[in-house]
Amino acid sequence: MSEPVVERHLTPDDLAKSLRRDVYDGLAAAPRTLPPKWFYDERGSGLFEEITRLEEYYLTRAEKAILRGRAAEVAAETGADTLIELGAGSGEKTRLLLGALRSAGTLRRYVPVDVSGDFLAASARRIGAEYPGLSVRAIVADFERHLDVLPDGGRRLVAFLGSTVGNLSPAERRSFYGGLRAALGPGDSLLLGFDLVKDPVRLLAAYDDAQGVTAEFNRNVLRVVNRELGADFVPEAFEHVAVWDAEAEWMEMRLRSATGQRVRIPDLDLELDFAAGEEIRTEISAKFRLAGVRAELEGAGFAVEHWWTDPPGDFALCVAGV
């Protein structure tokens, strides 16, 4: 078996710098925010895995169900020889797509893209061992900034699954779709997974589960800031809050200071005073309608060719061509 190539466009030092900037810009400002990308250290990734198995969190199960039923169609429609997975991680979904492309006889190359190099190297090695003859090129990069580094040649299928696109603001989505379109050409396609607008009661349950796993996942970002920047957040002094914004059609997660408290972040020379009840927004998770997704993709120069939902209509996958 040939060793997978790991191509780095992001060093641990780059990541440390962008964390400092994000924390400084987000917490020194009003209203306070932290971007969701910092949830996912080892503990946070483990908590997210746990979330995906919760009864209330239907997203992952729904997306897998669609993929199980439709991966062969995705393979036939796209004729892809290269699978590029943005934010690679979900072993089972990757295998469904690789399996379908291999059965279709077109599969040659797998390109997982993620900010975490260690994680990527390990999963690239596993996939390489399972698919003899598959060329695996792992790319350590931030898909919001480095879309120009995607390898070219062949028919490429870019998979962006899990409704991760929901973490982007509308402006960030526009720039992401535009950047991706610019990186792709004729014969290439995008496979996008997105969560659909539904009864807010179900959304609130999905983002505020009975066991409190999502609450721990949310507070974990404070542990990351403590560890990486020497801060003294007391995670238990912040309450997990999930809110449905009916106008923007997105879920928000927030951390609400239970009392008045001062937090020090020595590495940023910051002292923050939180009033009782003051909140930090830690995530938006947009919920979509097909018409909106179609309009945004078309605005960027993509054409939606197919889309599917799970039987209850909770989640959708679409294939868009350029």
Nearer to ligand AVJ, 112 or 166 (CB): 166
**Residue 194 interacting with ligand AVJ (CB under 6 A):** no
**Residue 207 interacting with ligand AVJ (CB under 6 A):** yes
Q: What angle do CA 202, 206, 208 make, to 5 degrees?
A: 110
Among 94, 106, 116, 163, binds ligand AVJ (CB under 6 A): 163
**Cα–Cα distance between 94 and 296 in angstroms, integer?**
25
CB of 29 to ligand AVJ, least distance (A): 22
**Residue 196 interacting with ligand AVJ (CB under 6 A):** no
Spell out, one character per residue from 277 to 306, where the chain touches ligand AVJ: x when CB under 6 A holds, - when not: ------x-x---------------------
**Residue 214 interacting with ligand AVJ (CB under 6 A):** yes
**Cα–Cα distance between 273 and 135 in angstroms, integer?**
52
**Residue 116 interacting with ligand AVJ (CB under 6 A):** no
> Exposed e or buried b for every residue in 25-61, given b needs 16+ CB within 10 A?
ebbeeeebbbbbbbbbbeebbebbebbbebebbbbbb
**Residue 51 interacting with ligand AVJ (CB under 6 A):** yes
Nearer to ligand AVJ, 117 or 162 (CB): 162
**Residue 89 interacting with ligand AVJ (CB under 6 A):** no
CB of 39 to ligand AVJ, least distance (A): 7
> Exposed e or buried b for every residue in 275-294, given b needs 16+ CB within 10 A?
eeebbbbbbbbbbbeeeebb
CB of 166 to ligand AVJ, least distance (A): 5
Nearer to ligand AVJ, 78 or 167 (CB): 167
Name, in order, each residue with C-beta under 8 angstroms of 136's C-beta and a sequence gap of 6 or more: 4, 5, 109, 110, 111, 112, 124, 127, 128
Handedness of CA 102, 179, 186, 309 (dihedral sign): positive
Site size with ligand AVJ, rule: CB under 6 A: 12
